[in-house]
Chains A and B, each alone.
Chain A
Amino acid sequence: MSEWWTYTLSDLLMFSAQTYYRLFELYNREIWPAQIVAIGLGIVALLCLRRAGAREGRIVAAILAACWLWVAWAFQIERYATINWAARYFALGFAIEALLLIWIGVIRGQLLFWQSAKGIRVAGFYLFLFALAVQPLIGPAIGRPWLQAEIFGIAPDPTVIATLAILLPVSGRMRWLLLCIPVIWCAISGATLWAMGSPSALLMPLIALLVLLLAAGHALACSAARIR
């Protein structure tokens, strides 16, 4: 793109806010009652976070991988790609994240979120609860119809935040690999909402930043403890 620096975010937005949110409304109508299944899976993942064991790590990874794959296909390719040609690349990113979760979390069993300090586990738990129970309410709270609610496992944003919540207390280098795509999505989603003038535009980037800071702090604390 020549003279790319002259383009603003709104120059790159190719659909209206109305069209974008209608996409969620039609999607929610078409897949009902899949939302109940998704919320059920979210509750199972939340319970696994409290129990914390090797088996629970694999279950959570499998649930998240299934959600990322579903969002890649049902949302990004089947719906979002009809108004945004870039959605096919987003779908690829979501599919890669799903495969990473399967490889690292399910097959190798490296999603070890119970070995961290209690504080960071609690933060992860409440962030997951936020993605599951609060994030779907944000749209209606700012005046959008209930049918446009974005739900964990169905819509990308709460699925990504829930994944960040799970990865927050995970120890080991693999966490950073798994964090890449969710953090990139937070930037993309934030930019899209910003260009549309949404009052919730900063939410995703701020949560990503918070998770990165907490994860970095946690990693530093672990390193310091090992040195001592």
Chain B
Amino acid sequence: MQQPSDPPRRRLLQSLWVIGTGAMLGPALGARPQQAMLTRPIRSGGEALPLIGLGSWITFNVGNDRVARAACIEVMRHFFDAGGRLIDSSPMYGSSQHVIGDGLKQLGTASRAFSADKVWTSSGARGAEQIEASRQNWGIGRFDLLQVHNLLSWQAHLPTLFAMKSAGRLRYVGVTTSEGRRHPEIEQIMRSHPIDFVQITYNIFDREVEARILPLAIDRGIAVIVNRPFRQGALIQAVQRHPLPPWAADIDCANWAQFLLKFIVAHPAVTCAIPATSSVAHVRENIGAAFGRLPDEAMRGRMIAYVEKF
């Protein structure tokens, strides 16, 4: 099930050129943020995705609380207004799917959204049933992306997802893990199955994936979604006591959230990061990371050195 590696590589080079051009134009434009969100193509499909998506773990699980639901939908409104597309959820996330479904319906943005969800059941036989329930919760015709959540029974679920993709009931297939778990297994799947996406944890402190997973994703033409970019807020709390370095302005970072996110999405293997929030102020900050200049390799090294001094 090997995939040809040249087309993804060509598309990657094209995307790097687009981002590189933006980086060069940034200073020429007086460091003004670009008007459109920076995007990167899905390597197996060529479709461009904005570099910042929206996660829903914990933040959108608000049950039947109308006030909290309205706040989540407001976050979605700002996300879509700024050009955001990818929203990620899971049947594991309590009421998050329902909240997203309500938001898409109220905002009329279902056609603009890139819907990413997961299958999360140990029973292969119940996978299709769960996916259908998730689709109804979202209120959409089909998912853009379905991922096997935390590799749970992936041997049973991947054939189901590939069959859905072949039948045109799904556009992309992926697998997820978090916080460095089961990387050897992720690598094995990336090498042996024609998956379109892999979702992993990556941030300025947790960089284990740089060694093998991210280069492999480039080689195999697999798009990369980055979860827990802030370690569930812990990274922001850790760094915000310290001043943002003056040179952060050189990469159009106005706050720590953008500093941390730009570090992630500047990696050429990364397709998008999915910070989760229920705050409009925070979603605005996060989205800002998909505008303006991105750090090059030297700058990324400088960013690491700066935060590791804390």
> Are B94's CB and A10's CB within 8 A?
no
> Are B181's CB and A19's CB within 8 A?
no
**Cross-chain contact of B63 among A2, A3, A13, A83 (Cβ < 8 A):** A83
Chain A residues with CB below 8 A from B182, complex form: 2-3
> Are A14's CB and B232's CB within 8 A?
no
The secondary structure that dominates the A interface is loop
B65 CB–A CB distance under 8 Å: yes
> Are B179's CB and A15's CB within 8 A?
no
> Are A14's CB and B179's CB within 8 A?
no
A79 CB–B CB distance under 8 Å: yes
**Cross-chain contact of A82 among B94, B151, B152 (Cβ < 8 A):** B94
| A15/B181 contact (C-beta < 8 A), A10-B232, A22-B65, A26-B65 known | no
B64 CB–A CB distance under 8 Å: yes
| A14/B64 contact (C-beta < 8 A), A6-B179, A82-B95, A85-B94 known | no
> Are A83's CB and B179's CB within 8 A?
no
User: Chain A nearest CB: distance from B166 CB in Å?
Assistant: 28
B232-256: contact bitstring with A at CB < 8 Å (1 yes, 0 no)? 1000000000000000000000000
Interface size class of A (residues with CB under 8 A): 20 to 34
B271 CB–A CB distance under 8 Å: no
> Are B151's CB and A15's CB within 8 A?
no
> Are B63's CB and A19's CB within 8 A?
yes
> Which of B43-51, B54-62, B140-148 faces chain A?
B54-62
Give Cα distance in the complex from A10 to B152, angstroms: 20
A133-176: contact bitstring with B at CB < 8 Å (1 yes, 0 no)? 00000000000000000000000000000000000000000000
Give Cα distance in the complex from A16 to B181, angstroms: 23
User: Chain A nearest CB: distance from B305 CB in Å?
Assistant: 28
B93 CB–A CB distance under 8 Å: yes
> Are A13's CB and B58's CB within 8 A?
yes
> Are B179's CB and A11's CB within 8 A?
yes
Near A by CB (< 8 A), chain B positions 167-183 give 179-182
User: Chain B nearest CB: distance from A40 CB in Å?
Assistant: 28
Near B by CB (< 8 A), chain A positions 4-57 give 6, 10-11, 13-16, 18-19, 22-23, 26
Give Cα distance in the complex from A22 to B68, angstroms: 9
B13 CB–A CB distance under 8 Å: no
User: Nearest A residue to B233 by beta-carbon distance?
Assistant: A16
A200 CB–B CB distance under 8 Å: no
> Are A14's CB and B68's CB within 8 A?
no
User: Chain B nearest CB: distance from A120 CB in Å?
Assistant: 40
> Are B61's CB and A83's CB within 8 A?
yes
> Are A19's CB and B232's CB within 8 A?
no
Q: Which residues of A contact B (CB under 8 A)?
A: 1-3, 6, 10-11, 13-16, 18-19, 22-23, 26, 79, 82-85
28 sample A-B contacts, Cβ–Cβ < 8 Å, listed by A number: A1-B150, A2-B150, A2-B151, A2-B152, A3-B182, A13-B58, A14-B57, A14-B58, A14-B92, A14-B94, A15-B58, A15-B63, A15-B94, A16-B61, A19-B62, A19-B65, A19-B68, A22-B62, A22-B65, A22-B67, A82-B63, A82-B94, A83-B61, A83-B62, A83-B94, A84-B94, A85-B92, A85-B94
Q: Which residues of B contact A (CB under 8 A)?
A: 57-59, 61-65, 67-68, 92-95, 150-152, 179-182, 232, 278
For the complex of A and B, the 5 pairs showing the least CB-CB separation, nearest first, are A82-B63, A83-B63, A83-B94, A15-B61, A19-B62
